[in-house]
Amino acid sequence: MTSVTSTGNESQLVHIGRQAIYDRTGEVVGYELLFRGGSEATEAHRRNAYATSQVIVNAFAEFGLEQLVGDRPCFLNLTREFLVGDLPLPFGPEQVVLEVLETVDVDDDVYAGVTMLSEQGYLIALDDFVLGEGHDKLLGLASFVKLDLLDVEADTVASTVAEVRKHKHIKLVAERIESSHHRALAHDLGFDLFQGHIFGRPQTLTAVSLNPSRMRRLELFGALTASDIQMQQVVQIVTTDPALSYRVLQATNSASVGLARKVSSVHEAITMLGIDRIRQWVALMLVSDISEATEEQLSTMMSRAKLCQMIAERLDVPTDSAFTVGLLAGVAELVAEPLGELLVRLPVSTEITDALLHGRGRLGQVLSMVRAYEQSDLPALKTGPVSSAEMARAYLSALGWSQRTMAGALSTQRRRPPRPASVAGS
């Protein structure tokens, strides 16, 4: 079982667990994000690199961090692979706390990796901390230490608290508080933060996902690992897969808190994220190994996007933005999600939002014309600035482009599948 549930060929459901962390006044100050294999799951059955990859991809590129935690920090469990750099962290240190799992053996490589992450600005938490079991050496790097109150004797908890308090920079988190006795003990011992079932059980949140085809991810990763990589090549691969385009826009939104402006195209989003960050996201998608939409569905969406682009060129409208409008219109249909809810998670410009939601502006005019042609709305086509004959020729050209693009990508993949050698466990 994975954290993706099939809903047919059109889309999948993705799931993530979320449990609140409270301060001494009872205010929610953060959330721990947890792997969940299904909408009915109440606990994680995996705590490996796969589970961590799923949580990261789902949190940042499916739900959107703002939708999950608002402006509060999120705590993410990390396995050894992430701590030592075998697997990438495709996000900056803002708004995240990296939890070192108690199952990780803190050897020299882990210590060096955690040190580097701390120096890069990431906050570190030690999960289920126990004195004398090897994680003590990380106390100087940690900002949070989490102690289990359910399965540990009160005297042991008290002595651990006293030892950790010698490090003045550390905040103590009492976890697995499941009774009023545990809550009183945590307050008496001076814990700073609190987490447990007595405050609220973890929620399992579900969203509809449009997942990038594995073929396209492999192709993109191959391009990204080339020594002579060109930005235009990356843009071309991403924009020929609606799901990758959506993921890139979503990742831009999650990674760009505080940006003064919104992006107006996938090209701009890729430029904003940069090659290194795109490479990290694609590597993580490979590890997460999520199912794909059908080639026919992707081809249909690409045809629409290309048709929007071609009509925009005739009308002297920005073609990149028109292509993005066409893609997002198709994404919304595929995941059966209201456009308004989808757009709030993306950093797209006001012009794109107005075009998609209200048909406004020149981009809205382009999309309306394309939809009218798809629906054989002859009256609407007769009053438009592009004739029915021109629309037909453009449509056939867009359809041919889409089919050639998909066939070419498939052929390339069969002949020479790129090998993501730097991704451990993929």
Residues 6+ apart with CB under 8 A from 85: 113, 116
pLDDT on residue 46: 44
Task: For residue 79, give Cα distances in angstroms to 21, 51, 52, 226.
Answer: 21, 9, 7, 28
Contact 373/304 with Cβ under 8 angstroms? no
How is residue 222 annotated by DSSP? H
Q: What's the rounded mean pLDDT across residues 46-74?
A: 80
- Predicted TM-score (pTM) of this structure: 0.60
Two structure tokens written together for 101: 């799992």
User: Rounded to 5, what percent of the chain is helix, strand, coil?
Assistant: 50, 15, 35
Picking from 107, 97, 187, 90, the residue whose alpha carbon sits closest to that of residue 142 is: 97
Site of tokens 């053996």:
105
How is residue 137 annotated by DSSP? G
pLDDT on residue 332: 78
The mean of the pLDDT values for the chain is 79
Pick from 58-72, 117-131, 220-234, 325-339 the range whose average pLDDT is largest. 117-131
Q: What is the pLDDT of residues 240-288, one digit of tens each?
A: 777 778 777 877 766 544 455 677 888 888 888 787 777 767 766 655 5
pLDDT on residue 8: 42
Distance between start and end Cα atoms, the chain: 17
d(CA 19, CA 247): 25
Assess whether pLDDT exceeds 60 at residue 5: no
Assess whether pLDDT exceeds 70 at residue 6: no
Q: 4-207 adopts what CATH topology?
A: TIM Barrel (3.20.20)
Assign residue 338 a region: left if phi > 0, alpha if psi is -120 to 50, beta otherwise?
A: beta
Q: Which of 3.40.50.1980, 1.10.8.870, 1.10.3210.10, 1.20.1250.20 is the CATH number of 212-415?
A: 1.10.3210.10
Better-scored residue on pLDDT, 296 or 362: 362
Q: What's the rounded mean pLDDT across residues 14-40?
A: 85
Q: What is the DSSP string of 250-293?
A: HHHHHH-TT-SS-BSSHHHHHHHH-HHHHHHHHHHHHHHT----
Assess whether pLDDT exceeds 60 at residue 17: yes
Task: For residue 222, give Cα distances in angstroms to 86, 229, 234, 251, 405.
Answer: 17, 10, 10, 20, 17
**Confidence tier at 213 by pLDDT (50, 70, 90):** low
Q: What is the DSSP string of 38-65?
A: STT--S-S--SHHHHHHHHHIIIIII-H
| Residue at 314: amino acid letter | R
pLDDT on residue 60: 81
Picking from 3, 102, 95, the residue whose alpha carbon sits closest to that of residue 53 is: 3
Better-scored residue on pLDDT, 189 or 284: 189
Domain ranges of the chain: 4-207, 212-415
Contact 105/80 with Cβ under 8 angstroms? yes
Q: What is the pLDDT of residues 393-407, one digit of tens each?
A: 898 898 888 777 666
Assign residue 31 a region: left if phi > 0, alpha if psi is -120 to 50, beta otherwise?
A: beta
pLDDT on residue 149: 92
Q: What is the pLDDT of residues 325-374, one digit of tens each?
A: 888 888 777 766 778 877 876 767 889 899 999 999 999 999 999 988 88
d(CA 340, CA 10): 20
pLDDT on residue 3: 44
384-390 contacts: CB < 8 A, separation 24 or more? 385/315, 386/311, 386/314, 386/315, 390/314
**Confidence tier at 152 by pLDDT (50, 70, 90):** confident
4-207 matches 212-415 in fold = no
Task: For residue 83, give Cα distances in angstroms to 101, 286, 421, 425.
Answer: 10, 18, 18, 15
Rounded to an integer, what is the distance from CA 156 to the centroid of its chain? 39
306: enclosing H helix or E strand: helix 295-314
